[in-house]
Structure 1
């Protein structure tokens, strides 16, 4: 297990550097000068040029990026142009809320998708199966902001059942009610794909020889389905969840903006809009790291579910 994780980490480093370089280049072509933002619109060209020189913005792009990578390696992400706070300090305040949101979405989406997909496979061809398939297709088709607006309008505003703006605190300190609607919004669009892939995988496994052998031994049907069929059908489901990690991160940006959730996605949007390049680069780096960590977790789950993966 250890060597496998080390290899995955080694392969992930060039990908992270590539993402940082791409985002660094994209932020450079934004038609806004950070030096002008710091100096103010009434500053003279000489003052703006002096600030550009102090920030190193007058140097070639590759040298700027190399210096940025060296600072990141030392844990220095720079300072926010808008708030003048350390970017690391800004990120530390937002990583926790984003982690809560993504874990909440996964806790809601994965078990529900597994149950719906398994029930649809067991009830293949029945009205229940068709209803679950239709619901899954509808879930895949609906954009995340549409689900969020519906929940905000009815559950939050009209029925006044749950708070729908801001974060009241951590989950363990009374913040669970404020987390429910954003987590439902982000997780609802993931239920459909999980249910569909679970249905397909369970249908394939139900026809396998070891399932027939388990039934011939006289095991109860739910034992056969849960301990034999579903367990062996989890690998494609885990693959799908790993592939949807990027979608969850992108959906988190939209969800956090809609619900005023103080996470990394909302911080990144605000930084890009206000041309706060150091903060935007730091937020993008955290999102890229989250994507790589999720993929590493998926690789570890492969080994747990099927030890043959490690030997290969």
Structure 2
């Protein structure tokens, strides 16, 4: 298992380097000059030129990127142009709220999707199956912002739950109440794909020889489904969950902005809007590393569900 994880980490390094390069180049084509942002609107051309030289912006791009890469390797992401605080400190303030939101979304959406998909597979062709699949298609088709607007208007607007800001950590009563609407918004579009994939994969597994053997030994249908078929049906589901979590990182930006949730996604939008390039680069880097760690966790789950993968 350790060798499998080390191999995956080695594969991830070129991807991380590519993300750093793309994020660096994308912010170079933004029309706003970072030196102008730092100098302020009243600065003279000489002051702007001096700041450009101080920041190294007058150097060729490959030299700028080399210096940026060297700072990243030392865990130095620079300082925010707006707050003049280290980017690492800014990210530390917003990282845990984003983790809370992702966990609060996954903790109900994934089990519910698997349960609905399992029920649909066991009741194939019935009204229950058709109803679950209809809800799944609707969930896939509905955009995140539309769900959020409905919840804000009819739940938050009615005073049933708070819908602006984070009122504390998730383990406190106020923090738990404040995360419900963002977590439901983000997870509502997650249940449908998981349910559909679980149903499809489980239907294929239920026709396998070992499932028929378990039934011939006298095991009940639900026992065969849960103990024998479901685990082997989970590999495609885990793949989908890993990919969907990557999309959740994008959806969390919309959700955090709508609910004023102080996470990394909202911080990245604010940094790009205010032309705070070091903070924007740091946010992009953290989101990319998060996506890579999710993929690594998915690979480890592969090896757990099917030990042949770890030995290959």
Q: TM-score range by the shorter chain?
A: over 0.9
Q: TM-score, normalised by structure 2?
A: 0.98
What do the CA deviations read for 1:132-159 (whole angstroms, capped 9, x no partner)? Answer: 111000000011111111111111112x
* Offset, 1:43: 1.1
Q: 2:162 matched to 1:163? A: yes
Moved more, 161-170 or 273-282: 161-170
Match in the other structure for 1:120? 120
Aligned length in residues: 311
Match in the other structure for 1:306? 306
- Residues 286-305 of structure 1 correspond to what in structure 2 (within 5 A)? 286-305=286-305
In the alignment, the residues of structure 2 paired with residue 180 and residue 92 of structure 1 have an alpha-carbon distance, to the nearest angstrom, of: 23
SS where residue 281 of structure 1 aligns?
Answer: helix
Q: TM-score, normalised by structure 1?
A: 0.98
Match in the other structure for 1:275? 275
Moved over 6 A (4+): none
- Residues 1-312 of structure 1 correspond to what in structure 2 (within 5 A)? 1-158=1-158, 160-174=159-173, 175-312=175-312
* Offset, 1:173: 2.7
In the alignment, the residues of structure 1 paired with residue 42 and residue 205 of structure 2 have an alpha-carbon distance, to the nearest angstrom, of: 70
Mind listing any 5+ residue stretches in structure 2 that lack a counterpart?
Answer: none
RMSD: 0.8
SS where residue 75 of structure 1 aligns?
Answer: coil
* Offset, 1:217: 1.2
SS where residue 172 of structure 1 aligns?
Answer: coil
SS where residue 41 of structure 1 aligns?
Answer: coil
Mind listing any 5+ residue stretches in structure 1 that lack a counterpart?
Answer: none
